[in-house]
């Protein structure tokens, strides 16, 4: 593609995206595609000869778009959000245009140094205590894996990294404690890092669905008695099911007493700590060894952008470091080479989009957006609470409401069947997209509010839709 064609199609694509962001609600929020629909439209082999961009973009609009679920639709209430914005997309485009691989300081000093600065900015907005150092990774799952590997190496004094005489098996069963409501990435990380799924201890939850710290202590004591080795606690600030907040102030001293790693998974909710009135969710974060939150969920920065903060970057680097001859540079002793702060060697220039977002919106507007979403969730919860047809199933400290239709007189099995049917109906015509979860054994409908364009009227539409979908 020559630069003239690039320019022409570039303008066209920008126009298309601008129009899309203004009118994403033109599309069915959840793709109506059936399995195999899109694949059937795509030839079995790549073309031998290049095709014109006009044709490719036309195929995108005609064949691909119908298979897209619109995460930036104002009535997307499923999962946790992945909200987006103009400045973020522009930063992403420049990053793609530069095509930088920020693996070493030398491979793009600006990428490393801007990343250091924007992570300091973010740490300040979150009012993190001094001593945390930030790095951007792809996802919370990856950072939790990093944290587990760091915990493993702390407990074993780097014996597993070095694969001492007996390697992983010789270290003894290393235990990870996390609440029953923790995200599945903890289990996945434990499997990948070699702890084994059986060594992930599911700690009970309290009446707010947060980690029950008395049960945590009981389980650690029992493990010590049985010769197992407490290694890491993963606390969740904002569980995926219902945004329950584990108390870091209560969990921290337990981690400290047993010399265990404390990792805080605040993937969604951590963003809310930029609001002074929500900062309490991170009270006790000074005990943490590591913390993750995803600006790609709730800080207008398009996927992917996961913010990982660590107390001891030297430990992180020692855990992750590789130093082949071909990666050595003469600045190594003066700079951060972020290749040693995470799992992949190659790294995208993600700081650019976060920098654009933080500057273009400013803290005030970002706080306003999060505040608006929390307010809308509370308003929705109020409607549920006031209705004698519906029931709230968990407290609503954040942007997520768990509830079900329950007019009374139906047993649990019948309620599950009827609520599943409601969900199916709500999601059929593409106006609204909701998902479900289970809170203990209770089937719950779930509304998560966090899209850039979501306003009160969209939430009211979801409520009306739910009421019109009651299966009689």
Q: How far is Cα 392 from Cα 25, in angstroms, rounded to an integer?
A: 28
Q: Return the beta strands (E) in 47-199 as ranges.
A: 133-137, 174-179
Minimum distance, C-beta of residue 76 to ligand PLP, in the bound complex (Å): 14
Contact 288, 248 (CB under 8 A): yes
Residue closer to ligand PLP (CB basis): 271 or 431 = 271
Of 143, 66, 57, nearest in space to 338 by CA:
143
CB atoms within 10 A of CB 158: 14
Residue closer to ligand PLP (CB basis): 171 or 238 = 238
- Lay out the site mask for ligand PLP across 213-252 (x = CB under 6 A, - = otherwise): -----------------------x-x-x------------
Minimum distance, C-beta of residue 10 to ligand PLP, in the bound complex (Å): 29
Of 388, 385, 359, nearest in space to 470 by CA:
388
Minimum distance, C-beta of residue 16 to ligand PLP, in the bound complex (Å): 27
- In the list 80, 177, 195, 443, the residue contacting ligand PLP (rule: CB under 6 A) is 80
Minimum distance, C-beta of residue 138 to ligand PLP, in the bound complex (Å): 7
For residue 140, state whether it binds ligand PLP (rule: CB under 6 A). Answer: yes
Minimum distance, C-beta of residue 92 to ligand PLP, in the bound complex (Å): 17
Q: Which residues contact residue 246 at a Cβ distance below 8 angstroms, ignoring those fewer than 6 apart?
A: 179, 210, 211, 235, 236, 237, 239
Q: How far is Cα 424 from Cα 416, in angstroms, rounded to an integer?
A: 12
Contact 144, 186 (CB under 8 A): yes
Residue closer to ligand PLP (CB basis): 238 or 397 = 238
For residue 265, state whether it binds ligand PLP (rule: CB under 6 A). Answer: yes
Q: Which region holds residue 157: left if phi is over 0, alpha if psi is between -120 and 50, else beta?
A: left
Minimum distance, C-beta of residue 298 to ligand PLP, in the bound complex (Å): 10
Residue closer to ligand PLP (CB basis): 171 or 439 = 439
Minimum distance, C-beta of residue 194 to ligand PLP, in the bound complex (Å): 20
Segment interacting with ligand PLP (CB under 6 A) among 65-73, 264-272, 313-321, 355-363: 264-272
Minimum distance, C-beta of residue 293 to ligand PLP, in the bound complex (Å): 9
Residue closer to ligand PLP (CB basis): 357 or 448 = 448
Residue closer to ligand PLP (CB basis): 112 or 271 = 271
Residue closer to ligand PLP (CB basis): 87 or 238 = 238
Q: Return the beta strands (E) in 110-267 as ranges.
A: 133-137, 174-179, 200-203, 229-236, 261-265
- Lay out the site mask for ligand PLP across 293-322 (x = CB under 6 A, - = otherwise): -x-----------x----------------
Q: How far is Cα 265 from Cα 289, in angstroms, rounded to an integer?
A: 11
Total residues contacting ligand PLP by CB under 6 A comes to 14
Of 368, 187, 373, 360, nearest in space to 297 by CA:
373
Residue closer to ligand PLP (CB basis): 160 or 201 = 201
Residue closer to ligand PLP (CB basis): 30 or 293 = 293
- In the list 183, 263, 315, 465, the residue contacting ligand PLP (rule: CB under 6 A) is 183
- In the list 267, 281, 293, 310, the residue contacting ligand PLP (rule: CB under 6 A) is 267
**Length reported for the chain:** 472
For residue 156, state whether it binds ligand PLP (rule: CB under 6 A). Answer: no
Segment interacting with ligand PLP (CB under 6 A) among 100-108, 139-147, 332-340, 430-438: 139-147
Q: How far is Cα 200 from Cα 66, in angstroms, rounded to an integer?
A: 41
Q: How far is Cα 445 from Cα 461, in angstroms, rounded to an integer?
A: 16
For residue 150, state whether it binds ligand PLP (rule: CB under 6 A). Answer: no
Contact 368, 375 (CB under 8 A): no
Minimum distance, C-beta of residue 140 to ligand PLP, in the bound complex (Å): 4
CB atoms within 10 A of CB 169: 9
Which residue's entry shows tokens 């970057």? 313
Angle at Cα 364 formed by Cα 455 and Cα 114, nearest 5°? 115
Which residue's entry shows tokens 């095509």? 99
Of 449, 376, 423, 382, nearest in space to 77 by CA:
449
Minimum distance, C-beta of residue 186 to ligand PLP, in the bound complex (Å): 8
Q: Return the beta strands (E) in 278-378 as ranges.
A: 290-293, 306-310
Minimum distance, C-beta of residue 257 to ligand PLP, in the bound complex (Å): 25
CB atoms within 10 A of CB 150: 23
Provide the binding-site residues for ligand PLP, judged by CB under 6 A: 80, 139-141, 183, 185, 236, 238, 240, 265, 267-268, 294, 306
């Amino acid at each position: 593609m020559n630069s003239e064609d690039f320019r022409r199609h570039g303008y066209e694509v920008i126009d298309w995206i601008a129009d899309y962001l203004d009118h994403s609600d033109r599309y069915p929020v959840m793709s109506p595609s059936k399995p195999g629909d899109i694949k059937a439209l795509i030839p079995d082999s790549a073309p031998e000869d290049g095709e014109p961009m006009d044709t490719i973009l036309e195929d995108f609009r005609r064949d691909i778009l119908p298979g897209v679920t619109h995460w930036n639709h104002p009535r997307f209430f499923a999962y946790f959000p992945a909200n987006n914005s103009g400045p973020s997309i522009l930063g992403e485009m420049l990053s793609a245009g530069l095509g930088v691989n920020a693996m070493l300081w030398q491979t793009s000093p600006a990428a490393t140094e801007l990343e250091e600065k924007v992570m300091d900015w973010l740490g300040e907005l979150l009012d993190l205590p001094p001593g945390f150092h930030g790095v951007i990774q792809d996802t919370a799952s990856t950072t939790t894996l990093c944290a587990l590997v760091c915990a493993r190496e702390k407990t074993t004094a780097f014996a597993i990294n070095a694969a001492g005489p007996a390697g992983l098996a010789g270290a003894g069963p290393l235990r990870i404690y996390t609440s029953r409501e923790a995200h599945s990435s903890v289990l996945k990380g434990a499997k990948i890092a070699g702890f084994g799924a059986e060594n992930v201890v599911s700690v009970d939850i309290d009446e707010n669905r947060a980690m029950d710290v008395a049960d945590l202590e009981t389980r650690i004591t029992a493990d010590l008695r049985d010769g197992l080795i407490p290694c890491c606690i993963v606390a969740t600030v904002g569980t995926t099911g219902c945004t329950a907040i584990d108390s870091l102030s209560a969990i921290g001293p337990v981690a400290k007493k047993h010399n265990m790693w404390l990792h805080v998974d605040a993937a969604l909710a951590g963003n809310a700590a930029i609001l002074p009135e929500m900062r309490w969710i991170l009270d006790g974060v000074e005990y943490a060894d590591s913390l993750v939150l995803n600006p790609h969920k709730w800080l207008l920065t398009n996927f992917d952008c996961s913010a990982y903060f660590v107390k001891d970057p030297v430990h992180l680097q020692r855990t992750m470091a590789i130093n082949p001859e071909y990666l050595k540079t003469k600045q190594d002793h003066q700079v951060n080479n972020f290749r040693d702060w995470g799992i992949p060697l190659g790294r995208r220039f993600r700081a650019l989009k976060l920098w654009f977002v933080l500057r273009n919106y400013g803290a005030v507007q970002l706080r306003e957006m999060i505040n608006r979403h929390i307010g809308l969730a509370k308003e929705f919860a109020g409607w549920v609470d006031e209705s004698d047809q519906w029931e709230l199933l968990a407290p609503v400290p954040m942007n997520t409401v768990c509830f079900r239709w329950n007019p009374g007189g139906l047993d649990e099995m019948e309620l599950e069947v009827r609520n599943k049917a409601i969900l199916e109906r709500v999601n059929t015509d593409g106006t609204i997209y909701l998902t479900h979860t289970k809170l203990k054994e209770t089937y719950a409908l779930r509304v998560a509010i966090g899209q850039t364009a979501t306003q009160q009227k969209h939430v009211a539409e979801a409520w009306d839709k739910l009421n019109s979908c009651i299966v009689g």
